[in-house]
Structure 1
């Protein structure tokens, strides 16, 4: 039964309200009116006053008070619920089919969809309706099951980073009639109308769709050193501004926002573009662009080699001849690289500390021993050494008998000249590039000829190192791997003295294929043909970048016109000589909103929260009855001042005292020094501070009952005035408006971190943002942490001690889940001993733990041990709360005991090393 926004679970009890007029008459008749009798002796009683008196008639206001108390009790027992979760169709008992687009465009509103879906399943369960669920991005044939079985699997549902598939779905729909609830992502898709008609033929269809516009970001494009960004929205509307954030890693390796670009959609426009100018060093650190606040894969543009201008150092073996620029050994090389690379000039030993991507040596024959050693070390670390021949190299005795470490092949003395009076014949042209050459597929102009070259000594390894050759089979370009890097030798000069190659466009293309310069354009079909690309990292539906794991490689042909799906996911793919970013959107992508027919009802995703009112009304009835007692005593003259005081004090005893207000009177340093005390940083936000206090109290209770640790009551600390050394753990919730500590406070914090303390930073925003500065809390964390002495961080590895100090854990959820937790990075020399399940990681406790899962809210308990905040839904939510407690226990045990667990599992290896 519904009366406006209020529903009743037991509406038949409201019939009792009809008895209120009868009750009024009964109360009016009680007590009965006295009979008046005149008695002369009454005159003797005049002036006397009785302590107790009885009124001859109940006052109307007291009757009204009693009527209200009875009415509140009746209505409260009828089970009133404000905004009950019913749709006016609760009488339906037939099957229910729930259709989910579950695409990348659903990521932003996925939590709202999940909440609404959970309420629908709960209603279906109460009505015993069978439910089937159909995900269009993973279209398995739907089967009707009990609603509760679907509710238990809701936490496992998530959007995917590709578009839904509509074709052929209508043929796989269940037989019979059923009602359909379609959760749409709001975008027009091919085949959606056909599927809608098929569903309408089976029963009524209702669409649930967010009215908020969908935004997406096209892949970033770089032109002339400027990054061009284009944002899209699904439907035109009023002028709107969005912020595109550029994320990357700072010099310490910490992921953060490096720049931001506001883009404004003009009124009625669906596209907004802007340009972002960044220094080459900063641009090289970029990993992605993201529209702030969207939280789905379509708002992410990953970067690859096409956006990163490489740094190339150019070094010539002789000075440029004044006035003869075209004869300069580096002129044509500079012209080829200038549009797409940043060039460095200077001496070799001055350039190496800058760690360029490529070092080009034009006719450099001899290097000093120190230069050769430093250059070899740089190459082995992943650098590319690009060498060009010339008269000096041809005349030198380098690499004659033994192969030089910085030469790909051994050379013959003197070189070879062709095409002159004393030559061996006509100038030679280039042979077609072999299939295993990085230049395969490039067309060779007919006017490219070679008149002189340095010759390679025949060698068993020569054939495998030749990547370009002349028409007579002599090597033109050779290459050799050196450690993680490579050495490439052009057997001709970098200018036009020995060949016309530097004058042609082929020279630029060859440098691009070698990744000497940035690859501005997408690889063409010829380059992708026959190659295999291995996924390194992939995006999920929420736009989070994850390791690809064991995903198989994909054929290069699939990347020519990519069709995203389970077998080809957006992300970063490593090819033979470059990295390619595959984004959800393409350069030509546009967003078209779905226009549903007028016959189809379209509803939003938000529902007013359901609020039971029965307890409040019964409480009001009790208060009214208490008022009736006090009023009756007052009318009879029995309510004396002392009794009123007693009633007042009894009421005070019923009032719950405020939480932990007496803490300020505690001698905090003394208590913390004598007991294990968990502390939280006071932020100035009362709600956040109270939640942190309740969370640490709940964690302390959990530690008390499950471990040998018996913490005292948690304490809030003021960074400016309190001593920090006595607290093993500081929980620091981040709020966007908390003040920055002073220099003195930062000095105390750095001392605390260096002497074994740990700070748990919690941005509490994992439900709305990814790691970094994509939320106000994340930006505040960066400002707060900048002056702190924080080591390089990494997501918690699977073999970190934190995963096994007390419980074996793989995830670290709080009230939210899914966010990575960051700890101090393992040392570079960490290695796994044979036979041991874990690496030998650093011995120290990680000084900081950073996450955003809102652990305090999941840990929070009241004084009676009851949870203060909901976590998840049903059994899955309680499981998530339990895992959050286990993470808290592991964290405290890690702080108190260090790496004892790591030592335990390494005992056999330690004993073996000691010879025992």
Structure 2
């Protein structure tokens, strides 16, 4: 590169063309412009005369200067000028590109890959060996292989940020053992944060050669969770912004969406990192539905906090005898101990059993209660998924029909067992160690916790399986059994200190917390391998961009490794061990990296400003002025100049209908059905044949006469004249461009409909409106409203045929349409909001409708549907669904409006009777 002051030229050899400018000056100066013709009658007298010394008119100096300036601008543009270029010293030795690949690198990952690819390509052009070190923690301690830079590009393009922090190998010298001869030049593309072992690597690389650091282009943000009695969030930011925190989870219809928006508090700055507390002040009903918290606008795993039992605040109902008015009696009441143990971490509701059930609690605790009148309602509540915790006591021990008492996990003997009294059978018993795979796994029973009295269980073969805590003599202390979707737990001692000192110990609070964390989950039998060695199994995980990723290929994680947070083999996500649930979150406190001895590029400087576009535009303007100037001095100059100026100032003509492709114009004239071209020939052919068969059915059965189906290339074709678009989803289908998504969103907002067909109804259920990863990837940028399965009274069930099912080649899978707003069904006659004239912009299913509609050129079905008469019946229902769908698209809320007709007629008859 040639540098002249602040100006650099990437192709300086092009500047040699400037030598020709003096010659060009002489040529242009001697060349006369076009002559003007002026009608003068006296010219006839000069006919036949010859000028022996003709003198040509010269080109005006200003026009000559304009032309030379235009040519100079073109020469300079082709020399690739750069304003204030970033100069890099010429290196002859090997190159090492270190790419931070943790979650903090995700926001501008594409730009990082581009910069690394540029450095590797330049090294390959210069014949320098290069190596690539990804800081994702998955690089082994083996020596790096130095090779041609362009051979590393495929690995670079396939790299993705990890859902944990950047991690480098432990021993830099071992990794760089194969370094070729020469000084090692290092380009470190950093995420701006300090990481373990980063300082050691910087010191080792600086000793081997120059180190250039590329800092991040934007501030780094992360989100962390602080547990305790009042859990809260903390936003960590290397900038000074105050972002909003989104609480995301399923709404009452089961659709995941934003449930609340939290505001960050006052900022505290330490060492360049700003922290802001965020309180989770939400109602329990809303708080317990939250699946994750996320920084608004952030797209990396560090900005996501997955919610586990530390976030959820249970609503617990306490049912027992009212506390005595005497202060001494209040401190002895069972409810007092339960209240003190649960109040910091739960929302308590006290009262009679009926009143507590009306509040829809997550957990109900009965303190020494028997023979309750609402026992039937309580049983239904437990069967639906509730957690019932019961405590023994004198009333239960003296109950003469204890063997008939319902909602107990085990059969009890009548009367209690007194261990430490005058007529006792022995000394008070301590607690046996808890099972390593049970709900109390990891808790350590204190030596001073003893039991003096208890209710005994009747011996039975399954007593040991139902015992989750026992005394040192193996008699049950806590038993549990499953009832429907819920659980029943019994403490065989009182909730106060009358039979045991367990309620006044810290272990009592821990045991209740563990039990409450299982509310809403069924008791799970531990696996045999979990009895020997506890492992945590990933239930759902995130990728580096904070998106859901597959957890199928992950091996179980040993319990001792979970304390290290996310890392290789244990990405950020939700993990389960037996009945315990834990969230590993990638975000947390941050520390800005320091780079002593390294050259740090200025983020604002970039690579310099390319001046080629400016010079080319300037040359084009000067050439246009040259044309205007030439027209001025030529015949009709003023008129031509005015026309040029007028044409230059006119805006471009908008696209008219005649500018559309012939296929699009035909679709507008013939109401043709359209399908998305996926690039898979078999799928595209099935889509064409399916819409052709549906068009034939519409012509035969209705007044709609569609033409031949139209294939749509989303990246190039317009959608303004279409009303219906069939989109078959394939795994290999590339996502459309951003401009295509703008056209698709405009298509949906203007009344169009897209039928997404995942075509996998034979192998997998949908389970929700986000069906498959391919559908999520293709539909994510679309303005898709909340979806719900088609209800029985939807217009789609009666727009032409009366239908109760919507099969295609497959059946049994739900079909999803726009969900009605909350409370909309309460209004008579208008069960759904009127959006896009009552038409859902999106319909999603997996039944393979195009294959059920498909007809070949001879009019015979192309694909089989079922067998025998049942299969043909299913094909007929599929065709009827297609007819209903197209009529629904074309008529909007027409059918829904018919419910108003009786009311309108009654009103007209009333007005006629009243008369004027």
Q: TM-score, normalised by structure 1?
A: 0.67
Q: Is 1:206 aligned with 2:212?
A: yes
- Please show how residues 398-477 of structure 1 align to structure 2 within 5 Å: 400=403, 406-420=407-421, 423-425=423-425, 428-436=428-436, 438-439=439-440, 442=443, 444=445, 448-477=449-478
CA contact 2:96–2:133 (8 Å) conserved in 1: yes
- Provide the residue aligned with 2:710 in structure 1: 710
Measure the CA separation in 1 of the matches of 2:45 and 2:561.
116
Q: Is 1:551 aligned with 2:554?
A: yes
Measure the CA separation in 2 of the matches of 1:913 and 1:61.
84
What's the offset of the Cα at 1:581? 2.0
CA contact 2:15–2:79 (8 Å) conserved in 1: no
What's the offset of the Cα at 1:552? 1.7
CA contact 2:7–2:85 (8 Å) conserved in 1: no
Measure the CA separation in 2 of the matches of 1:96 and 1:330.
71
Q: Any idea what the Cα deviations from partners look like across 1:241-287, whole Å, max 9, x if unmatched? A: 44444333333332315122223435666444353422222222233
CA contact 2:398–2:414 (8 Å) conserved in 1: yes
Q: Is 1:812 aligned with 2:771?
A: no
Q: Is 1:512 aligned with 2:538?
A: no
What's the offset of the Cα at 1:556? 1.9
Structure 2, gaps ≥5 residues long: 36-41, 48-53, 520-529, 690-708, 728-735, 740-744, 757-765, 792-808, 821-840, 855-861, 876-916
CA contact 2:865–2:874 (8 Å) conserved in 1: no
- Provide the residue aligned with 2:139 in structure 1: 139
- Please show how residues 245-324 of structure 1 align to structure 2 within 5 Å: 245-253=246-254, 254-266=256-268, 270=273, 271-316=275-320, 323=326, 324=329
- Provide the residue aligned with 2:393 in structure 1: 390
What's the offset of the Cα at 1:332? 2.2
Alignment match of 2:172 (pick from 161, 165, 169): 169
What's the offset of the Cα at 1:91? 5.4
- Provide the residue aligned with 1:365 in structure 2: 370
What's the offset of the Cα at 1:208? 1.0
Measure the CA separation in 2 of the matches of 1:332 and 1:164.
48
- Please show how residues 832-847 of structure 1 align to structure 2 within 5 Å: 842=813, 844=815, 846-847=817-818
Q: Any idea what the Cα deviations from partners look like across 1:577-622, whole Å, max 9, x if unmatched? A: 3212222356xx4x33222224534443844565644864774575
- Provide the residue aligned with 2:837 in structure 1: none
CA contact 1:73–1:621 (8 Å) conserved in 2: no
- Residues 191 and 758 of structure 1: CA distance in aligned 2, closer, same or farther (over 3 Å): closer
- Residues 793 and 42 of structure 1: CA distance in aligned 2, closer, same or farther (over 3 Å): closer
What's the offset of the Cα at 1:142? 2.7
Q: Secondary structure at the match of 1:460?
A: coil
CA contact 2:565–2:586 (8 Å) conserved in 1: no
What's the offset of the Cα at 1:180? 1.7
What's the offset of the Cα at 1:914? 9.7
What's the offset of the Cα at 1:426? 5.5
Q: Secondary structure at the match of 1:307?
A: coil
CA contact 2:190–2:214 (8 Å) conserved in 1: yes
Q: Any idea what the Cα deviations from partners look like across 1:342-363, whole Å, max 9, x if unmatched? A: 1223554554465432222223
- Residues 7 and 846 of structure 1: CA distance in aligned 2, closer, same or farther (over 3 Å): farther
Measure the CA separation in 2 of the matches of 1:677 and 1:609.
49
What's the offset of the Cα at 1:157? 1.4
CA contact 2:365–2:388 (8 Å) conserved in 1: yes
- Provide the residue aligned with 1:338 in structure 2: 343
CA contact 1:388–1:490 (8 Å) conserved in 2: yes
- Residues 442 and 106 of structure 1: CA distance in aligned 2, closer, same or farther (over 3 Å): closer
Q: Secondary structure at the match of 2:18?
A: helix
Q: Any idea what the Cα deviations from partners look like across 1:308-331, whole Å, max 9, x if unmatched? A: 221212223x56666553464533
What's the offset of the Cα at 1:182? 1.0
Measure the CA separation in 2 of the matches of 1:168 and 1:197.
12
Measure the CA separation in 1 of the matches of 2:26 and 2:517.
100
What's the offset of the Cα at 1:672? 5.5
- The number of aligned residues is 745
What's the offset of the Cα at 1:892? 12
- Provide the residue aligned with 2:24 in structure 1: 23
Measure the CA separation in 2 of the matches of 1:301 and 1:727.
40
Q: Is 1:325 aligned with 2:330?
A: yes
CA contact 2:317–2:350 (8 Å) conserved in 1: yes
- Please show how residues 745-784 of structure 1 align to structure 2 within 5 Å: 757-758=753-754
- Provide the residue aligned with 1:115 in structure 2: 114
What's the offset of the Cα at 1:168? 0.8
Q: Is 1:184 aligned with 2:190?
A: yes
When the two chains are superposed, the root-mean-square deviation of aligned CA atoms in Å is 5.5
Q: Secondary structure at the match of 1:486?
A: strand
Measure the CA separation in 1 of the matches of 2:43 and 2:166.
98
Measure the CA separation in 2 of the matches of 1:29 and 1:9.
35
CA contact 1:515–1:577 (8 Å) conserved in 2: no
- Please show how residues 786-801 of structure 1 align to structure 2 within 5 Å: 794-797=769-772
Q: Secondary structure at the match of 1:416?
A: strand
Q: Secondary structure at the match of 2:591?
A: coil
Measure the CA separation in 1 of the matches of 2:685 and 2:659.
20
Measure the CA separation in 1 of the matches of 2:872 and 2:719.
45
Deviates more, 1:305-314 or 1:198-207: 198-207
CA contact 1:219–1:302 (8 Å) conserved in 2: no
- Residues 180 and 674 of structure 1: CA distance in aligned 2, closer, same or farther (over 3 Å): same
Deviates more, 1:1-10 or 1:330-339: 1-10
- Residues 656 and 331 of structure 1: CA distance in aligned 2, closer, same or farther (over 3 Å): closer
CA contact 1:390–1:492 (8 Å) conserved in 2: yes
- Please show how residues 871-886 of structure 1 align to structure 2 within 5 Å: none
CA contact 2:8–2:84 (8 Å) conserved in 1: no
- Residues 516 and 257 of structure 1: CA distance in aligned 2, closer, same or farther (over 3 Å): closer
- Residues 331 and 200 of structure 1: CA distance in aligned 2, closer, same or farther (over 3 Å): closer
- Residues 114 and 913 of structure 1: CA distance in aligned 2, closer, same or farther (over 3 Å): same
Alignment match of 1:907 (pick from 866, 888, 896): 866
- Provide the residue aligned with 2:82 in structure 1: 83
CA contact 2:73–2:616 (8 Å) conserved in 1: no
- Provide the residue aligned with 1:218 in structure 2: 224
- Provide the residue aligned with 1:479 in structure 2: 480
What's the offset of the Cα at 1:534? 1.5
CA contact 1:129–1:146 (8 Å) conserved in 2: yes
CA contact 1:389–1:494 (8 Å) conserved in 2: yes
CA contact 1:243–1:261 (8 Å) conserved in 2: yes
CA contact 1:249–1:286 (8 Å) conserved in 2: yes
Q: TM-score, normalised by structure 2?
A: 0.67
CA contact 2:187–2:214 (8 Å) conserved in 1: yes
- Residues 471 and 130 of structure 1: CA distance in aligned 2, closer, same or farther (over 3 Å): closer
- Residues 486 and 504 of structure 1: CA distance in aligned 2, closer, same or farther (over 3 Å): same
- Residues 465 and 117 of structure 1: CA distance in aligned 2, closer, same or farther (over 3 Å): same
What's the offset of the Cα at 1:500? 4.0
Measure the CA separation in 2 of the matches of 1:42 and 1:821.
80
What's the offset of the Cα at 1:305? 0.9
Measure the CA separation in 2 of the matches of 1:491 and 1:285.
33
CA contact 2:232–2:279 (8 Å) conserved in 1: yes
Q: Any idea what the Cα deviations from partners look like across 1:815-855, whole Å, max 9, x if unmatched? A: x99x9999857799xxxxxxxxx995535364499xxxxxx
